[in-house]
Amino acid sequence: MSSVTENNKRIARNTIFLYIRLLFSMGVSLYTSRVVLQALGVDDFGIYAVVGSFILMFYFINNAMSSASSRFLTFELGTDNRERLKKTFSASLTVHLIIALIILVLGETIGLWYLENKLVIPGGRMIAARWVYHLALLNSLIIITQVPYNASIISHEKMDIYAGIEILNVSLKLLIVYLLLIGNFDKLILYALLTLCVSILITLIYRMYCIKHFEECRCKFSFDKTIIYPIFSYSLWNLLGNMGYTFSKQGINVVLNLFFGVAINAACGIASQVSAAISTFSMDFLTAVKPQIIKYYAKNKIKEMEGLMINATKYSFILLVALSLPVILEIDFILGIWLGNVPEYANIFCQLLVVSVLVDILRMNLTYGIVATGQMKNLNITTGILGLSAPVIAYVLLLFGKNVYIPMLTTICIYAVTFFATLFVLKSLVKAFSVARFLKRIFPLCFMILLVSSILPVFIHLSLDEGWLRLICVVSSSITVIAVLTYYFALSKEMREKILNYFKSKFGYKKFI
């Protein structure tokens, strides 16, 4: 069996594990989000959303190092250099402990000042907001020091373990909801405290597994200059890009708070959950693909790397369209069933954020290709500036007219520009990569499927009254049309034959399609 075939099977197997985890997570999240919103109320839910978003803005430091840890660990696995792999993990863990200390200092100084002096918090809830802030900050420190262990699991492609632990994580969140309902305490503070407890437990489980199964995770702290300096060089440039990306997402929430208050943050929080759930379907597939992209580059198999990037981008976009189209069309009914009491503007926010995810998914595999090279300077200068500009542009535009949709529309435009910038940066680093070939194999196919697959669901949406029947018809028609289009236009001839032969062998049909 060829290595390419074996890699494809591993990607498929890992994707299945991730989707099992995702389906369970989404089912639980649909329930818990509604109960949490009802238990906290719109204002407290908005406080948790905006305070959490502000904490996440400190994550640009951690995200830079997280990407570095994953890249260098995966690269060393690709070269099969076990001794250097141990040193890389030790250096990564040491650096993350330093980062946790830096974020703690920033959070308890600049962050706390901003919370108390700038964020718009309803009267009488500042004490609760402070508790939420400190608990969320502590939670972030735990997550930061966990990064090297999670990176090891992903690098070793142990997606079944990752999926199993995450299912446990989601199950514990069900327990949080129950305790939130029966708890005789300030529910906003209780929610933040219970979330922290779950995070601690999941972190301990991850670490125990990694220490037991991965030799590199049993090492001591070290500061090897030959390992630390390349990681820092990579990370310092990656820092700007992650700063921009984080501010483009979380900064929008802060801008909305400054102009419209916490009620709008509640709507934005709901929309973020919907868009995140949808994007995760495609991102889980890309998570399974990312290690192979880096390993192909480490082995100098550029042709295979490009082919994998093209296919992964194509299929992740198609999958996202199949999920997004029913949500965009039926968002009012979905939110009504899910939440009962829907925050104002939540429906339009959901639609706009889903569109932004569709635009951004095209960029992700290109980024993984650049990550494989380890040369992050040009990408992060360009995309970092673009990302940082999103909340700034939105803020300026809101000064001229308080249209609540401006921040979301600004984000969509920035994502589109970022895609093309990333495409040409990748070309500058990997000369064998063809921009024309990538665009030719991605754009016509993806937009044809997007356009054609929309016709029947839109017709059904306009023809039937709102309700379960219309939702089922829209979902089924969307999936059916996209599946047929994908089979005949997106899959290669060899892949179609494999699928055809599989169904023939399973069902005994001489002619199946």
- Which of 6-20, 120-134, 424-438 is predicted least confidently? 6-20
Number of domains in the chain: 2
* Residues of the chain above pLDDT 70, percent: 83
Say whether both 365 and 486 belong to one domain: no
Structural domain contains residue 425: yes
Say whether both 357 and 484 belong to one domain: no
Q: Read off the DSSP letter of residue 340.
A: S
Structural domain contains residue 507: no
User: Between the CA atoms of 323, 421, 408 and 143, what dihedral angle is there, to the nearest 10 degrees?
Assistant: 70
Say whether both 285 and 364 belong to one domain: yes
* Domain span including residue 14: 3-433
What band does 419 get if pLDDT is binned at 50, 70 and 90?
very high
Say whether both 477 and 378 belong to one domain: no
Tens digit of each residue's pLDDT (9 = 90 or more) over 383-407? 888 888 888 898 999 988 788 888 8
Q: What is the pLDDT of residue 455?
A: 94
Q: What is the mean pLDDT of residues 272-294?
A: 75
Q: Read off the DSSP letter of residue 219.
A: P
First-last CA distance in the chain: 28
Q: What is the pLDDT of residue 8?
A: 57
pTM: 0.68
Nearest of 360, 39, 23, 63 to residue 186 by alpha carbon: 39
| Domain limit, last residue, from 433, 456, 479 | 433
Tens digit of each residue's pLDDT (9 = 90 or more) over 195-253? 888 889 988 998 899 888 888 887 666 667 777 777 777 777 776 676 777 677 777 87
Structural domain contains residue 503: no
Query: How far, in whole angstroms, is CA 41 from its chain's centroid?
Result: 27
Q: What is the mean pLDDT of the chain?
A: 80
Three state DSSP letters for 413-470: HHHHHHHHHHHHHHHHHCCCCCHHHHHHHHHHHHHHHHHHHHHHHHHHHHHCCCCHHH
Structural domain contains residue 512: no
DSSP string, 33-80: HHHHHHHHHHHHHHHHHHHHHHHHTTHHHHHHHHHHHHHHHHHHHHHT
Q: What is the pLDDT of residue 513?
A: 46
Structural domain contains residue 504: no
- Residue pair 105/58 in contact (Cβ under 8 Å)? The answer is no
Q: What is the mean pLDDT of residues 319-346?
A: 86
Tens digit of each residue's pLDDT (9 = 90 or more) over 117-146? 877 777 778 888 888 888 888 888 888 888
Say whether both 381 and 357 belong to one domain: yes
What band does 6 get if pLDDT is binned at 50, 70 and 90?
low
Say whether both 140 and 207 belong to one domain: yes
Nearest of 329, 354, 447 to residue 408 by alpha carbon: 354
- Count of residues making up the chain: 513
Q: What is the pLDDT of residue 201?
A: 92
Is 508's pLDDT higher than 70? no
Structural domain contains residue 513: no
- In this structure, is the dihedral angle defined by the CA atoms of residues 189, 192, 198 and 200, taken in order, positive or negative? negative
Token pair 């994953």 is found at 70
Is 179's pLDDT higher than 60? yes
Q: What is the pLDDT of residue 456?
A: 95
Say whether both 345 and 389 belong to one domain: yes
Other Cβ atoms closer than 10 A to 314: 20
What band does 474 get if pLDDT is binned at 50, 70 and 90?
very high
Q: What is the pLDDT of residue 277?
A: 74
Instruction: Give the whole-angstrom CA distance, residue 166 versus residue 173.
Output: 11
